[in-house]
Amino acid sequence: MRMCSFCTPQDELKRAIGYKPKGIKTMSDFLPISKQDMIDRGIDQLDFICITGDAYVDHPSFGAAIISRVIEAEGFTVGVIAQPRWQGTKDFERLGKPKYAFLVTSGNVDSMVTHYTAAKRLRSDDAYSPGNQAGHRPDRAVNVYCRCLRKIFGDSVPIIIGGLEASLRRFAHYDYWDDAVRESILVDSGADLLVYGMGELQTREITRRLSEGEPIHSMTDIRGTCYLTEPRNTPIGCKECPSYAQVVQSKESYAKACKLQFLEQDPITGRALLQRHGDKMLVQNPPMRPLNQSELDKVYALPFARTYHPVYEKQGGVPAIQEVEFSIAHNRGCFGDCNFCAITLHQGRMITCRSEKSILAEARKLTQSPNFKGYIHDIGGPTANFRHPSCKNQLEHGLCRGKKCLAPTPCKNLDVDHSEYLHILQEVRQLPGVKKVFIRSGIRYDYLMEDPDDSFLRELVEHHVSGQLKVAPEHCANAALDCMGKPHVETYKQFMEKFYQTTREAGKEQYLVPYLMSSHPGCTLKEAVELALFLKIENIRPEQVQDFYPTPGTVSTCMFYTGLDPLTMKPVYVPKTAEEKAMQRALLQYFKPQNKRMVIKALRKANRPDLIGNGPHCLVRPDPSDKPRQETKNNTGGYKRTDKPQGKSGKNKRSENKSKRGTKWQQNGKTKRR
């Protein structure tokens, strides 16, 4: 599951337990987290207080850190309450009452995803918490934090919510953990205003207007925000989604609402959207424009401490910092637009990027860290090799409505150019103290294959792969790939051939590590078997397989809930039972001994017993303890058994034969009864 632009998958962070950056900063390098910090800075009352479900890590890969530093840069005082204990009021009162507002986020990841696996099992760890320990934040953290604040402070101070959890739950949404449709998080939490998307421009405008004395409820014209109002105050000229009551009752209405929400997410062409919730109307203003390059450079130049707060040192630190401490984010947005990804509804499809000067300045700063060993782990983002808009038309007209730039085939207007990104990589790896620059956030190989110039691929192979390059074909069956919004597998095969050829020419031994997903909508056991055969033919043995995780706010989650593709309204097959999910997952790792029985069961259910055997084309060998009956056809066209039990009386034989009536037998693909 890839939920946000700078999040690292949970499994890659587990190895970071106990990691401690050298040269821990002092308290004064961070924003206030206690009354004593306020006293030391001569602050009687903070202007704004940020509450986050993550531990306090003052690094630009953490959304709460960016927003709090942006507020500080506007000339306001701001404090941070990280992972408050929600069972009481003490932590929420720690910094007193802010002058203008509380800003609330669950952290970098939806709190339910942080707590539960795709199988809804409780996780035992949390890389965004001190010591990698789970349990430092509640389920549905935004709702819980807001209700605690209302209980303590009433309506005397505005509450503004943002971040991934708020952004993706801004409309009525299917909640996988409840297996039900929930109201907008703005209704559920009781907050006054919701900021969706990356949030810097919205935050600047909100803070300025609050400081000028404007009430929060009059701020109904800020792009990139949602608010609740009386139906009679609904603005004109908006597109209306089916209401909360309608999407609860009708899956078709839910799919129609989902389609509208995705079609209106372009900052140039997007229109305001409405969705009725009982006696209130939810209004989503059009998306905020992305930051331009100068603005983005300024954000990353803010005085981040770039590590976790010293208060966590005794608990072993915050392991999430390891994957990002020496990584550089150079872009935002992704026109790859995979259906299972949250980026489209959160960051958007339009690419914005930092200047080469800004990236080099950050790289030099990294080399001066006491913990730097010469390796920059990543210069990337949602997709590392996107530095430009997908085409020139979108700068004036926005991205195409209802169409994808790369899938199922690349658009004929696609503008492919790796030259600037390649130059940045070359310049960074020439910096004193830099031994190696890796690309770990992933590349779009389908975009790379459209580049007539092979320079980027050659330098990628020669300089920027740490033995393994992670890419995301996700599947090989076209039916599944179409539902995912991914290119067909022929593109991946061409890339594999080109990558390994370039690797051989460079005299290196490097490998592709494909991300694969099981049980996505549109994937039956037939497609899962097809993928298993593809892996066998290509000699790919994935160590990890991701079950599809229906997280809030994605097209794929809409498919999972409704059984419809919201963009076409055509029915989609959805694997939902635990047994079928287990079978699909086992097929992707058919080579593991512990999966053998499940693979055999799946192959039989998929009518592919020909893949059970000792031949080179087979996926698994037969199970010795599961001998199939042998049947021969008699002269009358019926069947007789050739493995009759020995040593039984005729009576017992007749009883046994009688007990076999009703058993199904297969002949020429037709089901008959004996």
Closest CA to 70 of 27, 81, 224, 78: 78
Token output for 202: 């919205």
Token output for 342: 């949250």
Contact between residue 349 and residue 333 where contact means Cβ atoms under 8 Å apart: yes
Token output for 31: 């924003």
Contact between residue 95 and residue 78 where contact means Cβ atoms under 8 Å apart: no
Nearest-5° Cα angle at 172, 552 to 483:
45
d(CA 268, CA 264): 9
Report the sign of the C-alpha dihedral through residues 583, 585, 588, 591, in that order: negative
Nearest-5° Cα angle at 214, 212 to 216:
130
Strand 664-667 and strand 546-547: the pairing is: unpaired
Query: What CA–CA distances, in Å, run from 422 to 5, 316, 380?
Result: 21, 38, 12
Helix (H) or strand (E) holding 151: helix 141-153
Residue 471: beta bridge partners? 514
Query: What CA–CA distances, in Å, run from 309 to 25, 33, 328, 439?
Result: 8, 9, 20, 27
* 300, HSE (Cβ side, Cα atoms, 13 Å): 26
Dihedral, CA atoms, 322, 102, 331, 125, nearest 10 degrees? 30
Residue 233: beta bridge partners? none
Report the sign of the C-alpha dihedral through residues 437, 441, 446, 447, in that order: negative
d(CA 185, CA 140): 9
Closest CA to 92 of 76, 80, 105, 100: 80
Contact between residue 62 and residue 328 where contact means Cβ atoms under 8 Å apart: no
Q: Is 400 known as a binding-site position? A: no
Query: What CA–CA distances, in Å, run from 313 to 316, 322, 327, 472?
Result: 5, 14, 22, 36
The two most distant CA atoms of the chain are separated, in Å, by 101
Sheet holding 468-474, edge to edge: 468-474, 511-518, 546-547
Alpha helices for 430-524 (secondary structure H): 445-449, 455-463, 478-484, 489-505
Q: Is 341 known as a binding-site position? A: yes
d(CA 416, CA 385): 10
Closest CA to 584 of 527, 514, 521: 527
Strand 664-667 and strand 670-673: the pairing is: antiparallel
Query: CA gyration radius for the chain?
Result: 28
Q: Buried b vs exposed e over 353-379: b needs ≥16 C-beta within 10 Å? A: bbbeebbbebbeebeeeeebeeebbbb
Q: Is 146 known as a binding-site position? A: no
Binding-site annotation, residues: 334, 338, 341
Binding-site annotation, residues for [4Fe-4S] cluster: 334, 338, 341
